[in-house]
Amino acid sequence: MRNFVVLALILALALGIFACGKREPEETTRVTLYLPDHDAVEAGGYGFVKKTLELHMAKLVSLQAMELVSHLVYDGALPEGCDVLHFYVSTSELDMNAAFAQALSSSGTLGETLLLGCLVNTMLEFFALDSITITVEGEVLQTGHETYDHPLTFYENS
């Protein structure tokens, strides 16, 4: 009888350990990244191609924005070092770091359009926004080509 009780305890303990280690599959979110269309650029225009991913996204909106930018950097749509400082979905305000402004300023008119288009289109689609205001370290985004003191809307292909 004693062996039966010991065996039952061991079995119950083993089941408890394996049950605790069992995890439910995490939900994924479908994400569309907008990347530069190099064929359109070679043809003398500009455009964007969509890349769809299934990602395990953070629950906090500001972390989601950081993840999206990280993927845009990984895929070459934004240069290394670009990062989100703050994102407020309620006011559609995205605050980027100085590296983003430097990349825009040094990329020429076409490059600036492509960088902004990739970022703006990705954010607008993911967060279902009509427009977005981009700042840099809390200040109005200014490049050698334009002052972006207004909300930006979806960039269409040329």
41 Cβ partners below 8 Å, 6+ apart?
A: 47, 110, 114
Note the pLDDT of residue 110.
Answer: 92
**Helices 98-105 and 108-127: crossing angle, nearest 10°?**
140
Task: Please report, rounded to a whole number, the percentage of residues in the chain having pLDDT higher than 70.
Answer: 84
Q: What pTM was estimated for this model as a whole?
A: 0.81
pLDDT digits (tens, 9 = 90+) for 49-72: 999 999 888 888 889 999 999 999
Confidence of residue 14 (pLDDT cuts 50, 70, 90): very low
Structure tokens at 76: 């070459």
Instruction: Tell me the mean pLDDT in the region 73-95.
Output: 96
Note the pLDDT of residue 74.
Answer: 97
